[in-house]
A and B are shown apart, each in its own frame.
Chain A
């Protein structure tokens, strides 16, 4: 049996799932994020982002530099709601 390779630890997504999404038409990080929730975990893609870029590049036969970066969403690092509420 082929070993499962976890690419996004926060959202528990494997290499196979990512490759399948790319083969069924995803060409950007934004799309992968929407389809598989990769990069949407507590690390906000800091861990899996570079691997996703290289998987996209490999599957699409592109240079990793050609892969569009994802939109950076505030607040960039998780923040507790209470910092907005308490003085």
Chain B
């Protein structure tokens, strides 16, 4: 292996892998450097939900492309990535939330997203097991869905390898310098040179950026998830309860139910531990909505990170250091953002111009205006 590359991608999560995949299709000489194994960061801990129901134009536009890209993966990879359109059902328990859904639906429909506001009766028809007490309405898009993160990563890895992209696994980047070109030092002392570098290192991006003097407004939070045994399929959509003591969960196509909640207050830091309070809490929150889940058996419970920014939108841009790109701050949406983001970013890295407007994700924005309401 020669240690000179056109592009070095640091971080083998969904963002780094999607970008490497599209770069490899353009014949770029690249390496993916990952301190664990592919998917060992947040991507392997996520629950695989994919939705287009956002409030920010850029995000909605990007997600529309993502649904398309997920649907093409089986053909591109030669195996099934468990992409399935079961829809996303967002619940409103208060007028304020409902009003927000109505506003968002207007924006989403401009992007031709098939979304509508459902009454409690419609919701009951869609999910017969749901307890509609307190629900006043729900926003539903049947084209949203799910995919299996590890299958997607495996597909990317397969094609990147076929296109002669290199992988350095279990190698942590400990130093990064730029002197005309980039010099990357790995923990074992190996040096890699690259003309361009992408930091797709999730919650670790802030500390890596600091090594080259970047001050990135990225903050890690711990989020936990759990999965049950398989059960006969009994509901289709991802159910999102936006109350402060809400939760979100769906049934995978193999029948397992997988779910999370957003803790209030949040739990800051790069942490992957699992708390004692999570299981009692999620059990209560999920069975409040779907009482028949009382008989479901929980198999596993784990923790992982969301990487946050002050305004809830990601950072996707070239930094002030020419040739150094940053893609992080994906909040709870990095998996679904990944494919189209990687595609756009690969074009930007190669051609120096964006194929769509990403100023809402720019590195120099004010980070003050909260333009994404559907966290």
The count of A-to-B residue pairs whose CB atoms sit within 8 angstroms is 68
CB <8 Å contact, A81 and B301: no
B37 touching A82, Cβ below 8 Å: no
> Which interface residue of A25, A26, A74 has the most chain B CB atoms within 10 A?
A74
- What 7 A-B pairs come out closest when comparing CB atoms? A84-B283, A78-B297, A82-B294, A73-B300, A81-B283, A84-B280, A34-B150
CA separation between A13 and B105, bound complex, in Å? Answer: 43
B44 touches A73 (CB 8 A): no
B204 located at the interface, meaning its Cβ lies under 8 Å from any Cβ of chain A in the complex: no
Given contacts A34-B150, A74-B274, contact A82 B300 (CB under 8 A): no
Question: Pick the contact of B299 from A30, A42, A84, A85 — CB < 8 Å?
Answer: A42
| The one of A40, A78, A85 that contacts B284, using a Cβ cutoff of 8 Å | A85
A1 neighbours in B (Cβ, 8 Å): none
A86 CB → nearest B CB, Å: 8
Q: Which of B286, B294, B301 contacts A80 (CB 8 A)?
A: B294
CB 8 Å contact bits of B276-299 with A (1 = contact, 0 = none): 000110011011000001111111
B45, chain A: closest CB distance, angstroms: 10
- A74: B residues at CB distance < 8 A: 274, 279, 300-301
Contact with A along B172-206 (1 / 0, CB 8 A): 00000000000000000000000000000000000
Bin the interface of chain B by size: 20 to 34
A34-B150, A81-B293, A82-B295 given as contacts; is B302 within 8 A of A73 (CB)? yes
5 residue pairs of the A-B complex, CB under 8 angstroms, read A35-B150, A74-B300, A75-B300, A82-B287, A82-B295
Q: Does A44 contact B (CB under 8 A)?
A: yes
- Number of A interface residues, CB 8 Å? 22
User: A14 on the interface (CB 8 Å rule)?
Assistant: no
**Interface residues, chain B, CB within 8 Å of chain A?**
37, 39-40, 44, 150, 154, 169, 228-229, 274, 279-280, 283-284, 286-287, 293-302
Q: Which residue of B lies closest to A28 (CB)?
A: B37
- From known contacts A30-B37, A74-B274, infer whether A81 and B299 are also in contact, taking CB-CB under 8 Å: no
Contacts of A78 in B (CB 8 A): 229, 297-299
**Known: A74-B274, A79-B298, A85-B283. Contact between A35 and B154, CB under 8 A?**
yes
Q: CB-defined interface of A17-51 with B at 8 Å, one 1/0 digit per residue?
A: 00000000110101100110000111010000000
Secondary structure at the A interface, as helix, strand, loop or mixed, is loop
> With A28-B37, A30-B37, A31-B37 as given contacts, are A80 and B297 in contact (CB-CB < 8 Å)?
yes
Q: Are A75 and B279 in contact (CB under 8 A)?
A: yes
A62 CB, nearest partner CB in chain B, Å? 15
The docked-state distance in angstroms from the alpha carbon of A30 to that of B302 is: 13
Shortest distance from the beta carbon of B82 to any chain A beta carbon, whole Å: 11
Count chain A CB atoms within 10 A of each CB in B40, B228, B294, B302 and give the residue with the most: B294
Query: Which residues in B have their C-beta under 8 angstroms from that of A31?
Result: 37
Closest beta carbon of chain A to B189's beta carbon, Å: 21
In the bound complex, do residue A34 and residue B301 qualify as a contact, i.e. CB atoms below 8 Å apart? no
Q: Name the B residues within 8 Å of A73 (CB-CB).
A: 274, 300-302
User: Please, how many angstroms separate the alpha-carbon atoms of A82 and B290 in the complex?
Assistant: 12
Chain B residues in 8 Å Cβ range of A35: 150, 154
List of B residues within 8 angstroms of A79 by Cβ: 279, 297-298
Quick check: B279 and A80 within 8 Å, CB to CB?
no
Q: A residues within 8 A CB of B295? A: 80-82
Bound complex: CA A34 to CA B41 (Å): 12
- Which of B37, B295, B298, B299 is the most central at the interface, judged by chain A CB atoms within 10 Å of its CB? B299
